[in-house]
Amino acid sequence: MIARSASRPEAFGAIFDRHFPAIHAYLARRVGQSSADDLAASTFTVAFERRRSFRGDADSARPWLFGIATNLLRNERRSEWRTLRALSRLNARPLTEPIGPTGIDPRLAALLSQMEADQRDVLLLYAWGELTYDEIAASLGIPLGTVRSRLARAREHLRRTIADDEPRPAQARETRG
């Protein structure tokens, strides 16, 4: 389909129709709805402009598009980091539902903001983008083993941080008293 769009640009519309909802949903979870609108549009603009460089042996355009979206996110990294830090400061307030432009709980925002950017990208492509390990590797242009190790480190970071935040039995008794 992408190869065909090189000579018939209107054929790219099928790629857009097929993949836009997933790309947009992933971006919305990362940076909020309004920023996702712009980034998703930019993702497909870049993809259209670079369609001649798409690897013809690839099974799907999906990893390629998520890779473009992730690269555009890297350009937005500072903004995302500031948003996550701001949401994490709300952690002291008890919440009944997720808040903020990304629609995530501030506690999760705090965890994500403390994570290395490369690990966060892999984790969120897996969890929110619903990409397979192979698709993540293709989208980021990294080896499959690197995907596995970054995801393992991200998971370990989350486990360790969550375990550190849980009150110990002695602490729980002290706070009740």
Q: What is the pLDDT of residues 110-156, one digit of tens each?
A: 788 788 889 999 999 999 899 999 999 999 999 999 999 999 999 99
Per-residue model confidence (pLDDT) at position 100: 45
Domain ranges of the chain: 2-167
* CB-based contact 37:69 (threshold 8 Å): no
Q: What is the pLDDT of residues 18-77, one digit of tens each?
A: 999 999 999 998 888 888 999 999 999 999 998 888 877 777 889 999 999 999 988 876
Buried/exposed 14-41: b ≥16 CB within 10 Å, e otherwise:
ebbeebeebbbebbbbbbbeebbeebbe
Angle (CA) 117-133-71 rounded to 5° is 40
Q: What is the pLDDT of residues 89-111, one digit of tens each?
A: 665 444 444 444 556 777 787 78
Token pair 């909020």 in the structure block, residue? 32
* CB-based contact 34:82 (threshold 8 Å): no
- Residues β-bridged to residue 104: 99
pTM value is 0.66
- Assigned superfamily of 2-167: PhyR, sigma-like (SL) domain (1.20.140.160)
Residue 172 in this model has a pLDDT that exceeds 60: no
